[in-house]
Amino acid sequence: MRVAVLALQGAFIEHEQVLQKLGVETFEVRQLQDWQQPKDALIIPGGESTTQVHLLNSLGLLHPIRQAILEGLPVFGTCAGLILLAKQEDGHPREGLCTMDIDVCRNAYGRQLGSFQATGEVAGIADKLPMTFIRAPYVHRALSPEVEILSEVDGRIVAVRQGHQLATAFHPELTTDHHLHQYFIQQINRLSA
């Protein structure tokens, strides 16, 4: 198994380290040539979604990545990655990969409460998962019944799945609990079986 990790900006190294610990080969996507390598899945890290969209556009990566996800490539987006996957922001269409039927709220917790830790259940994946939120978004609502809500913290949706697409508002790569990455690997295996 080979997982592509979008490495334009943000917390991509931590995702690579977790996957490597779990015995999965990774490679970084920094330009179109990297993206053309064979891959079984993609991780979109946290960082700054506006910068990531801008870079994806200028490097000619936005369209091919979007197409691959629409064709079924398993994807896991965390924090800014979740924002990139969302079709809407505050009820309006947004610019990005726009492959997930979710409406997001960015920087939902304000500057003062920008970063915090929580522990929450992720349905079918972990009972008490440590969650690190950094200027995190949350999901206002699912836009289609295909979206499964996996976790809510303080009444806000923070983890969702839509078929082969998985997204969290928090950063699972910044803790030592690797349940979500393990789950993603299982999904990749299941989808390629």
**Alpha carbon 144 to chain centroid distance?**
18
Q: Is 92 a catalytic residue?
A: no
H or E stretch at 66: helix 62-70
Instruction: Give Dmax (Cα) for the chain.
Output: 46
Q: 160 to each of 56, 138, 155, how far by Cα in Å?
A: 23, 10, 14
What does the binding site for ligand GLN look like in residue numbers (CB under 6 A)? 46-49, 79-80, 83, 106-107, 134-135
| Residue located via tokens 């979109």 | 44
CA 95 to CA 50: how far, in whole Å?
9
Q: Which is nearer to ligand GLN, 110 or 145 (CB)?
A: 110
Q: Is 164 a catalytic residue?
A: no
Q: What minimum distance in Å lies between the beta carbon of 191 and ligand GLN?
A: 26
Q: Is 25 a catalytic residue?
A: no
* Residue 5 neighbours by CB distance under 10 Å: 23
Q: Which is nearer to ligand GLN, 49 or 187 (CB)?
A: 49
The one catalytic residue in 16, 79, 164, 181 is: 79
Q: What minimum distance in Å lies between the beta carbon of 12 and ligand GLN?
A: 11
Q: What minimum distance in Å lies between the beta carbon of 47 and ligand GLN?
A: 5
The one catalytic residue in 105, 140, 173, 181 is: 173
For the annotated catalytic residues, the residue numbers are: 79, 171, 173
